[in-house]
Amino acid sequence: MKLSAAIDNAMPELVAIRRDLHAHPELGLAETRTSAFIARHLEALGYAVTTGLAKTGVVGTLRNGTGSRSIGIRADIDALPIHEETGLDYASKTPGLMHACGHDGHTAMLLGAARALAERRNFDGTIHLIFQPAEENFGGAKIMVDEGLFDRFPCDAVFALHNEPNLPFGQFALREGPIMAAVDEARITVHGRGGHGAEPQETADPIVCGASIVMALQTIVSRNIHPMDPTVVTVGAFHAGSASNIIPERAEIVVGIRSFDSAVRDALERRIRMIAEAQAASFGMRATVDYERSYDATINHKAETDFVRDLAIRFAGADKVVDLGRPFMGSEDFAYMLKERPGSYFFLGSRATGDEKPLHHPGYNFNDDLLPIGAAFWTELAEAYLARR
């Protein structure tokens, strides 16, 4: 049976899988039902199944022929702490949680590929299907790597995709080198001296000082970082005070930082600390900075990205494949797998009507019409990479 026909025949099952997962979302490192669901499907298809990496991660392994080459394909499985507002009959049954990023679709696509690969056996080597928890918050990819993912499941290359409602339906978008940013967070606490709002001269007002810090932070990207280095410094929260006649003791500023280059990342931290501390000192106050580095930048490898591009052109046509002119400023913990093994991360467009809600929106819903495309592409990618030689 041709691959297209096999995937089309499996479409009702893929939709059922995706919608079941959508109705039962689970947060990172707590995806117990999800991982058990995945494991059952893989075992029924004849995969050797390993569970327990990063608590709820699942790896399905399928071998065929005598080839020594191996490939890893990753799907993320966790949901988000968002209350769903789609009104769908298969909407989340857990208040406050939903699959608002399409990980239910990513999982269903890879399970669809798992079936096709097992039935066709048109490859020579080893396939590791990696179902990774906690992409959204706890860095499940890094946990899996630290727990020996690639020691236990050697991969010559690893690949992952993400659906993207801002790209045309069925379009493959990729790029060599940086494709997703490193993300960090700074929590700046301004320590002032509170008092009555009618006697400001007797206080050290952390709100005024904090406002000065917020404005000074805006100069980092424009005056301290090279214009050709993509960088974002965003003040996402400013917490202080409780009433108009009370000057508080402290103010807290929460800053999100995005970058790609490691030297730029270091420079951003130095400059943020310097601005906070020096601005506070100029007001006769003190600022402390709790700086947390989160996901590293996602850096694609050239050979594997070229491989994905060439395959995508054959699969979908040249008009459906684009090289991104610049990376996305979002972050992705697949970065840690790409630091250990060569590979590529790319996007698959899902915009069909123009009315689609963006990722992480309470009204977002994965486009089920994308399921056969993703499942077929993963099948062809694995078969092409492990083609008999």
Q: Which of 373, 370, 368, 375 is nearest to 88 (CA)?
A: 368
Rounded to whole angstroms, the Cα distance separating 32 from 141 reads 17
Measured CA to CA, the distance from residue 104 to residue 106 in angstroms comes to 6
Alpha-carbon span 247 to 194, nearest angstrom: 5
The answer to whether residues 25 and 32 touch, using CB atoms and an 8 Å cutoff, is no
Residue 35 and residue 21: Cα distance in Å, rounded? Answer: 10
Burial of 384 (0-12, 13-18, 19+ CB in 10 A): middle
Tokens of 315: 């699969």
Give the amino acid at 335. Answer: A
- State the amino acid at position 242 in one-letter form: S
CA 298, distance to chain mean position in Å, is 10
d(CA 76, CA 141): 9
Is 389 in a helix, a strand, or coil?
coil
Please enumerate in sequence order all residues whose Cβ is within 8 A of that of 279, keeping only pairs 6 or more positions apart, or say none: 209, 212, 213, 216, 287
**CA angle (113, 104, 157) in 5-degree steps:** 45
Burial letters 90-109, b for 16+ CB under 10 A, else e: bbbeeeebbbbbbbbbbbbb
DSSP state of 284: T
CA-CA distance, 348 to 370, in Å (whole number)? 8
Contact 84, 98 (CB under 8 A): yes
Closest Cα to residue 348, out of 159, 189, 65? 159
Which residues are part of the catalytic machinery? 78, 135
Which residue type is seen at 380? E
Longest distance between any two alpha carbons in the chain, whole Å: 83
Determine the angle formed by the axes of helices 371-385 and 302-316, rounding to 10 degrees: 120
